[in-house]
Every structure is written in C-alpha cells, then in structure tokens.
Amino acid sequence: MKGRGEHPRVPFRDRHQAGRILAEHLREHAGHADVIVLALPRGGVPVGFEVARALGADLDVLLVRKLGVPRHEELAMGAIASGGERVINDEVVASLGITQAMIDQVAAAELDELKRQERDYRAGRAAPAIEGRTVILVDDGLATGASMRAAAVALRNLGARRIVAAVPVGAPETCRQLAELADEVVCARMPAHFHAVGQWYEDFSQTTDGEVKRLLARAAQEREAEKGVGHEA
C-alpha cells in the first residue's frame, strides 16, 4: 500500500488538484496500453479525469449504488456495482433480520437506476472492455470504503488483470482493509485524525451529472486526438 500517513498541512483545493496530486503516485502506470481509469461517480470523476490525463489512459465510470435498509434507507446494508455485483454488510443484515427477498428487492430497484445512469453518462458510448486490463479505480476519498469494495468485487468478476484502488485521501484503516480486495492500494494521504472526506477539501461542492458527462466526453475527445497524433507519427 502506498501513501503518506502524516497529517496534511492544507486540504486539497478541489477534486481536480487532488487528481493531479494522486497521479504523481501512479506514474509507473503511465503509457501502458492496457491501463484504464474507472472513476466512481460523481465525485470521483473530476479526480479520475486528471489521473487519466496524466497517465495517458482511457477514462470511464464504474457505478456503485448503496443498498439502503427498507424504511431506513440512510442505513446501508450493502452496495451493488456495475454488472450486478453485490457487497453485503452481514452484520447489519443479521442484526435487523433482513431477509434475502428484501435484499433482492432493493438490489433490483438500484440496479435499474444504475443502468439508467450508465446510459446517461456514456451518451451512447459502449461500456469499456475490462477483461485482461489493469484498472485504476478512483474516488475522491475513502471513508467506510463500501463503494470501493463493491467496485473491486465487480472488476474482479469482470476479469480485470490487476486492480489498483486509488484515492487522494482516506482513513488509514479503510485503506489497509481495501488491500484484501485490490492488488494495489494508493492513498495519497492517510491522516491519523480522519473524520470525513470533505474535511480535506477546500471546495467539496457536489459534482453534478452534467459535469460528469462533460468530463467523460472531454476525456474521450482528448484520447482520440492523442491516438490520431500517434498514428500520424
């Protein structure tokens, strides 16, 4: 696991600056054709945009939806990721007596919404091929890590050759636990006194769906231009 455990003196200015700093910790992956950056929407996309640009890699999204406890949706009993892969919090499920049927019902509804968001974000572009590739999985920070864990399970089942979980800042224990699912974990900053991701950003305003779509389209255009220059050379 890579990262710095000291207390950062100043927060990141915004997610774009955080992405540029994170990219410095991922330089060894630059220029490799099999590398793809997958960002967790919405906040992970500005970070992933800067990482992909610095590494010369494709950018796309991998969606994760929380599975809320029925009638107490703010409490997560798990998460579901692209491809339908689930991560269940067995402790919450057991303590509340949640049945498999209840989990399936919530998961089906969230999967429908997940698919709708994927179509909207990609604007008709096909989902990227994952099998045999090195995937750099990016978010704007790690608190509980539930979303990142669900995403890592999904990528493993989609045949990713290597999974690199990367965030600008994360809770030290969560970063360590994620190493059980990812081949490499990069937490650029791991403050000893971590309470919430937002405290480490000066600007932590919500990323909009419109911004996600603009950044994905811009990344695709820039990559096409790069490839065109390469072919001409």
What is the pTM (predicted TM-score) of this model? 0.88
DSSP E strand boundaries for 121-161: 134-138
Question: What distance, in Å, lies between the first and last C-alpha atoms of the chain?
Answer: 38
* Cα atoms found within 13 Å of the Cα of residue 96, Cβ hemisphere only: 18
- Look up the CATH number of domain 66-121: 3.30.1310
Per-residue pLDDT of 121-163, as tens digits, reads 988 788 889 999 999 999 999 998 888 998 999 999 899 999 9
Amino acid residing at 2: K
| Rg of the Cα atoms in the chain | 17
Residue limits of CATH 3.30.1310 in the chain? 66-121
CB 39 within 8 A of CB 212: no
The verdict on domain 2-63+129-232 having CATH code 3.40.50.2020 is yes
Residues of the chain with CATH 3.40.50.2020: 2-63+129-232
Reading the block at residue 93, the tokens are 């499920």
Q: What is the pLDDT of residues 168-223, one digit of tens each?
A: 999 999 999 999 999 999 999 999 889 899 999 999 999 999 999 999 999 999 98
